[in-house]
Amino acid sequence: MATAEVSVLVDRGSTWTKASVVGQTRGRWRITAHAAQPSSWGDDDLLEALVRRLEPAADQRLAGRLRGLLADAPRISCHTPSRAGRLAVASLTGELSGAAARSAAEGAGWVVQEAVAPDDGRGIAERLAVLQRAPVDAWLLAGGFDDARSDQALELAGLVRAARDGTTAPVIWAGSQLMAAEVAACFEPGACTAVANPLPAPDIEHGATLRRHLEAMLEALLEPGGVRALTPFGFRRAVAELSRSQRLRILAVDLGARYASWVLADGDGSAEGWVQASGGIATSPHGGGSSAARIVRWLPVAADELTVRDALETYRARPVTLPYTDDELAILHAAVRGVLTAHRPALPPGGIDLLIGGGRTIAAAPTPAQAMQLLVDGVRPTGAFQVAIDPTGVLGPLGSLADGEIGEGMAELRDDLLTPLGAAVVCRGGRPGQPAMRVSVRRAGWPALPPIELRAGQVQVVELGPGQVAEVEIELDAEVSLGGPRGGRRLSATLTGGSVGLVLDARSTPPLVPRRSDDRRAVLGSWRDAFARETAPRASGTSESPR
């Protein structure tokens, strides 16, 4: 951490820049001011905004000197990559090897410009033509299980070599290992690298090695000097450090206009990351007008598909702008939910301890309840877990510190890093309308609540303030699961509250909604309202305030 009295943490996004002033208050480092504004407004205005936030609270002896202090303060910065790596994928099948290769590439920060496969409905000539036109930085070939040999793989290699036409973009073979040497021989020496097959056998999918290889290639292409200063990688490093220091299994998402970064950290310091250059709200097809019909289904307000399409496409064209009306915000949030659901990674069987949401749409949602609902509805992990947001966007800049400094920096800012929204217990399964789980909540210093019975399809929020701890006993119906080992019908958890409280969620995954639009909107509206207020039954004859 910088030794000066003041430091500035900056996350320069593709559309918005977030900046936080870190200063010493009573001997401790705290975030003392924060500003977020369009990146196009420039550094001067950002500095002015920080000064304006700082002035009311700053020592009056510093009046008039704040701007100079901030301008000279050490900066810890990260930024969204200026451009994404462009890839063409050629595979033996579109749905098997093609999908696995594409998934690995898109999780490593590449944008797939063109994907071809013999089963894509196009002839060889057309496939060759589209590949010749595709502007790419690298080529990815995939197909065949590891023990399979196929002439089609060589045909694929010939097709890509024809499309490359003597250019030098690297080629990756991520298919049958039996074919690796033959495929590599189709290219000039050193051009083709074989990487572990993401689909080595019919029932095994393992894209992590390919994803890491592609990520390393992308780093060399975009930031040869190191990727620490790139926000997606900084975010990952910070989450990994948080997971290591707190020994928590964390799932974190930083959802921006262009990029989405997902991190799954297992508590021992190792973290899997997915950097999606087309996973942002303005770039993901799941957030666009083509998904309008699906998005309309998740709107608690009446809006026709035409309105939704135009609102979404305007946002995609001008992602720096902000929704102004309730309807526009509802449309944006429904799109965010769709994007989160589409890109969330598979979770380990043990579930997670903490879910973190970053990016302005989530972390700067107008109310904490909206942020909580976006995360719980969009990511939908099952189990009992804490939920928090990164409201100032400091995880990215802190993760850009050198290895030896991240832990120190995050420890110093521990009280300001995340804003706890509370906790959630999310189950899956159950028959509509039938009891799903019975939850007993014991809060230290509060009168005991009667057990809360939730029927499948219900969601309820119990008051549990920031820092307040509750012992939660959960009794599950026979057809309901929390994602843990089978047969575990009684579970207990210690959960800590936040600005929203404790969410008890017995909706299915994905939540079932009525087909009739009026009924559907009524149900969606009731869920929205449930997140926005505490609805736990009061213990009879007692006041709902702490003793």
Partner 1 sequence: MSSRSGGRVLHRVLVPRGAMIATRVGAVLAPDQAIGHWDRPLPPIRIDAARQLRCRAADLPGLMVASAGVRVQDGAVLARAPSGREVVAPASGWALTASRDGSILFAPAGAAETIIAHVRGRVRAIEEGAVLVEVPGARLPGIAGSGTAVHGELMLAVSGPDDELRATAIDTAAAGKILVGGSRASAEALTRARAIGVSGIVLGGILDKELREFEAAGQRRRDAGGASDPFGLLLLEGFGKVGFDPLLFGWLSAQAGRMASLSGADRLLYVYDAPAAPVRRALPQVGERVIGCRRPFQGRTGVLVAILDDLHAAPNGVLTRMALVRQEEGRLVVAPLANLEAMGTPAGR
Residue 235 to residue 265: CA distance in whole angstroms: 12
* Residue 320 binding partner 1, by CB under 8 A: yes
In the region spanning residues 358 to 377, those forming contacts with partner 1, defined by CB under 8 A, are 364, 366-367
Binding region for partner 1 (CB under 8 A) out of 17-25, 44-52, 99-107, 476-484 = 44-52
Per-residue x/- mask for partner 1, residues 250 to 289, rule CB under 8 A? ---------------------------------------x
Q: Which of 68, 74, 123, 432 binds partner 1 (CB under 8 A)?
A: 123
| Pick 270 or 290: Cβ nearer partner 1 | 290
Return the number of the residue (177 or 361) whose C-beta is nearest partner 1.
361
Strand ranges, E, within 221-327:
250-255, 260-265, 271-276
Single residue of 72, 147, 247, 321 touching partner 1 by CB under 8 A: 321
Supply φ then ψ for residue 131, to 5 degrees.
Answer: -70, -35
**Span between the terminal Cα atoms of the chain, in Å:** 41
Nearest to 170 by CA among 158, 188, 155: 188
Instruction: Specify the residue, 249 or 360, whose C-beta has the smaller distance to partner 1.
Output: 360
Kindly state whether residue 40 participates in binding partner 1, applying the rule CB under 8 A. yes
- Which has the closest alpha carbon to 394: 33, 90, 27, 5? 33
Q: Does 119 bind partner 1 (CB under 8 A)?
A: no
Q: Does 2 bind partner 1 (CB under 8 A)?
A: no
d(CA 261, CA 240): 13
State how far the Cα of 104 lies from the Cα of 215, in Å rounded to an integer: 9
- The reply on whether position 164 binds partner 1 by CB under 8 A is yes
Cα separation, 506 vs 430, in Å, equals 8
Sheet holding 75-79, edge to edge: 28-38, 16-25, 6-12, 75-79
407 is a contact residue toward partner 1 (CB under 8 A): no
Query: Are 254 and 235 spatial neighbours (Cβ–Cβ below 8 Å)?
Result: yes
- Residue closer to partner 1 (CB basis): 147 or 326: 326
Among the listed ranges 129-137, 221-229, 245-253, 336-344, the one in contact with partner 1 (CB under 8 A) is 129-137
Q: Where are the alpha helices (DSSP H) in 17-64?
A: 42-54
* Nearest to partner 1 of 264, 374 (CB atom): 374
Instruction: Kindly state the smallest distance separating residue 310's Cβ from partner 1, in Å.
Output: 4
Residue for token digits 């135009």?
310
Q: How far apart are CA 495 and CA 467, in angstroms?
A: 10
Position 533 contacts partner 1 (CB under 8 A): no
By the rule CB under 8 A, 297 interacts with partner 1:
no
- Residue 329 sits in the site that holds partner 1 (CB under 8 A): yes
How far apart, in Å, are the Cα atoms of 407 and each of 234, 356, 398, 411, 526?
Answer: 13, 18, 9, 6, 42
Closest to partner 1 by CB, 135 vs 349, is 135
Residue 223 CA to residue 82 CA, distance in Å, equals 10
Does 351 sit near partner 1 (CB under 8 A)? no
- Distance CA(71)–CA(87), nearest Å, equals 40
Classify residue 547 as exposed, middle or buried by CB count within 10 Å of its CB (0-12, 13-18, 19+): exposed
The distance of closest approach from Cβ of residue 122 to partner 1 in the complex, given in angstroms and rounded to an integer, is 11
- Shortest Cβ 169–partner 1 spacing (Å): 9
In the complex, what is the shortest distance from the CB of residue 334 to partner 1, in angstroms, rounded to a whole number? 14
525 binds partner 1 (CB under 8 A): no
Q: How many residues bind partner 1 (CB under 8 A)?
A: 54
CB of 175 to partner 1, least distance (A): 15
Cβ atoms < 10 Å from Cβ of 92: 23
Phi, psi dihedral angles at 167 (to 5 degrees): -75, 175
Is residue 484 part of the contact set for partner 1 (CB under 8 A)?
no
57, 124, 201, 204: which one binds partner 1 (CB under 8 A): 124
Interacting residue with partner 1 among 65, 68, 72, 132 (CB under 8 A): 132
Task: Give the range of 33-41, 242-250, 457-465, 513-521 binding partner 1 by CB under 8 A.
Answer: 33-41
- Find the binder of partner 1 among 62, 178, 196, 322 (CB under 8 A): 322
Site for partner 1 in 200-219 (CB under 8 A): none
Binding segment toward partner 1, per CB under 8 A, in 103-111, 119-127, 385-393, 465-473: 119-127
Contact between 306 and partner 1 per CB under 8 A: yes
Burial class of 419 by CB neighbour count within 10 A (0 to 12, 13 to 18, 19+): middle
Tell me which of 94, 158, 465, 484 binds partner 1, using CB under 8 A: 158
Query: What is each CA distance from 113 to 87, 90, 125, 366, in whole angstroms?
Result: 6, 11, 18, 36
Number of H helices, E strands in the chain: 16, 23
Q: How far is the CB of 382 from partner 1 (least distance, A)?
A: 30
* Residue 161 interacting with partner 1 (CB under 8 A): yes
Among 128, 222, 248, 342, binds partner 1 (CB under 8 A): 128
Q: Is 314 in the site for partner 1 (CB under 8 A)?
A: yes
Side-chain-facing half-sphere of 324: CA atoms under 13 Å: 4
Q: What is the 3-state secondary structure (H, E, C) of 369-415?
A: HHHHHHHHHHHCCCEEEEEEECCCCCHHHHHCCCHHHHHHHHHHCCC
CA 478 – CA 427 distance, rounded (Å): 12
C-beta closer to partner 1: residue 133 or 247: 133
Buried (b) or exposed (e) across 190-206, using 16+ Cβ within 10 A? eebebbebbbbeeeebe
Residues within the interface to partner 1 (CB under 8 A):
37-38, 40-42, 45, 49, 52, 123-125, 128-129, 132-133, 135, 151, 154-155, 157-165, 167, 186, 289-290, 305-306, 309-314, 317-318, 320-326, 328-329, 364, 366-367
